[in-house]
Structure 1
Amino acid sequence: MRDRGILSASDLQKPLNKIVYAFMVLCIAVMAFTMLYPIAMTMFNGLKSTQEINSFPPRFFPTEWHWDNFPKGWNYIDLPLFLKNTLMIFAGNLVVTIMVLGLAAFSISRIKVPFHRAIYFFILMTLFIPASSYMIPSFVNLKELGLLNTYWAFWLPAGANAYFFLLIKNFFDGIHPEIFEAARIDGASELSSYTRIAIPLSIPIFATLAIFIFSTAWNDWFWPSLVMQTQDKYTLATAIYKYVINARNLDGSTRFTILFMVMIPPIFVFLVFQKFIMRSVSLGAVKG
């Protein structure tokens, strides 16, 4: 059965509805154009010569297609190294989210630890603290612990993400408690209930959080440039900012090819996991 919109075929025949419908389609087309235009412009500029990029009036399509610009951009910086660092941060943050935040949310939601309401509201209050206010204390703590220039500078703070904690707790609240009660009757421990029941049932929320974590690891450049002090530890975003965006002697075609290659992976991640992204819209509402 085909999904039906809010307007039927007969409703669309009314003049006013036609005007409103056409205006909505126009808004969607403008929004799609503004989103796709920068990506297309970056790709086509990467296929132009440097002289054509700087020419006036500018052209959208290149007059000559310089496919050799992509090997030049790939070899300009060590993209595989920076990609590996980014994926290491993503994988560690995901594991910490599942093991630390997941266990904490399970304890508050299902085990009902002492003072669980006070703990829950305390974590909820931390959402109203600006991130810039605890950035310096976090840096000082990591420095005192000797964790600067290591992946733990990302993995350790990942275990204190209040927003992810609340999303996981809300999901656990929606799981029927009879499942865990049956497991306890069969002799399962709380840890066993979490690993064998809660985690398999929570694949949607963890997949959604994986998208959030990947987006943060891929796009964030300020915090990695602050805690990673050697080139071999830079993330992809930090390397792009330092060696591509701020480079003065880099020709424009190579710059655009690098930027376009960095744009591609997040687009594929969105296309593959878009159903989880849509699900995250409904999970974003935090219940009390």
Structure 2
Amino acid sequence: MKPLERGIVSDYDLKRGSVKLGYGVMILFICIMVFSMLYPFLTTLFNGVKGNAEVNSFPPHFFPKEWHFENFHKAWVYIALPKFLRNTLYIFFGNMIVTTIVLGLAAFSLSRLNVPGQKYIYLFFMIALFIPPTTYIIPNFINLKDLHLLNTFWAFWLPAGASAFNLLILKEFFDGIHMDLIESGRIDGASEFRLFVQIAVPLSIPIFSTIAIFVFAGAWNDWYWPSLVLHNDSHYPLSTAIYKYVLNARRLDTNIKFALLSMVMLPPVLFFLFFQKYIMRGLHVGGVKG
């Protein structure tokens, strides 16, 4: 039988009382953290299957006395969820395409090309990270208005190509790709664009998957910016529709609100569970076999 590798703490260390106490404290804090994360999610889910009178009863109780799964059907037909979901996916896929093409090429240029003033360009984008996002909401709005891009999806796609954060993390990942791979492609006559498409992008699937999680979370959760640049519900993403037509609704039963919120919470969780397996893939993609 193959012996197990020694961990941070050995079996001998675990026999000591002080080590057991330390492990117990860590496990306690982990349980508290897990509970604090799961409690709001489970509360929303259970309130979504309660009767309206039970949701508004006092004192409240965690588990429902009666299960009303028909609440999800009522929530589904209350607003046009498929339309708002489609708009959210349009924003997400557009943002990812712009991020991959614009920011990917820019990051690859800063990483692998001799760009004049490269150090100062990198410093400029680093400084941009310290600027509060609220300070450029009005300039972005005015620019989009002058370009006649309000009430269009370009009001989301165009700013996605100016993310300093995504640019810098892409550059840092491209810096980790072994230079021998790039040089071998140049020797074979590949252009810089072909190097980006056929070498940099395939090796960067982990970082693009990570960025996809961030972009999806932003497209799914942001409601304030869409409420500024969109003037009707034909282009509303799901979060803005939920804010305007569910959270601010006065005649909608509370249990139906919770049912709607439950359905909205599930897709980001599933999206993360699907993409997180790609994050650690290619940990040694920059290595070259001898």
| Greater mean alpha carbon deviation, residues 177-186 or residues 88-97 | 177-186
Alignment of 1:49-60 (within 5 A): 49-60=51-62
Shift of 1:15: 0.7
Match of 2:135 among 133, 136, 146: 133
Matched residue, 1:218: 220
Residue 230 of structure 2 corresponds to residue 228 of structure 1: yes
Distance (Å, rounded) in 1 between the aligned partners of 2:279 and 2:272: 8
Alpha carbon RMSD of aligned pairs, Å?
1.4
Aligned AA (1:212): F
Matched residue, 1:63: 65
Alpha-carbon displacement from aligned partner over 1:249-278 (angstroms, at most 9, x marks no partner): 110110000000001111112222234567
Matched residue, 1:284: none
Q: Any runs of at least 4 consecutive aligned residues in structure 1 with deviations exceeding 4 A, and if so which?
A: 1-4, 276-279
Aligned AA (1:170): E
Match of 1:95 among 97, 112, 125: 97
Residue 180 of structure 2 corresponds to residue 178 of structure 1: yes
Aligned AA (1:70): F
| Greater mean alpha carbon deviation, residues 141-150 or residues 269-278 | 269-278
Matched residue, 1:80: 82
**Which structure 2 residue ranges, 5 or more long, are not aligned?**
282-290
Report SS of the residue matched to 1:26. Answer: helix
Match of 1:113 among 112, 115, 119: 115
Residue 13 of structure 2 corresponds to residue 11 of structure 1: yes
Matched residue, 2:275: 273
Matched residue, 1:242: 244
Matched residue, 1:32: 34
Matched-pair identity in %: 58
Q: Against the structure 1 CA distance between its residues 59 and 162, is the aligned structure 2 distance closer, same or farther, given a 3 Å change threshold?
A: same
Matched residue, 1:196: 198
Alpha-carbon displacement from aligned partner over 1:236-258 (angstroms, at most 9, x marks no partner): 11111111111111101100000
- Per the normalisation by structure 1, the TM-score is 0.94
Report SS of the residue matched to 2:234. Answer: helix
Shift of 1:66: 0.8
Distance (Å, rounded) in 2 between the aligned partners of 1:124 and 1:273: 27
Matched residue, 2:266: 264
Distance (Å, rounded) in 1 between the aligned partners of 2:124 and 2:30: 41
Aligned AA (2:78): Y
Distance (Å, rounded) in 2 between the aligned partners of 1:32 and 1:43: 17
Report SS of the residue matched to 2:257. Answer: helix
Aligned AA (1:175): I
Distance (Å, rounded) in 2 between the aligned partners of 1:98 and 1:277: 16
Aligned AA (2:105): L
Shift of 1:76: 0.6
Aligned AA (1:91): F
Distance (Å, rounded) in 2 between the aligned partners of 1:158 and 1:41: 34
**Which structure 1 residue ranges, 5 or more long, are not aligned?**
280-288
- Per the normalisation by structure 2, the TM-score is 0.93
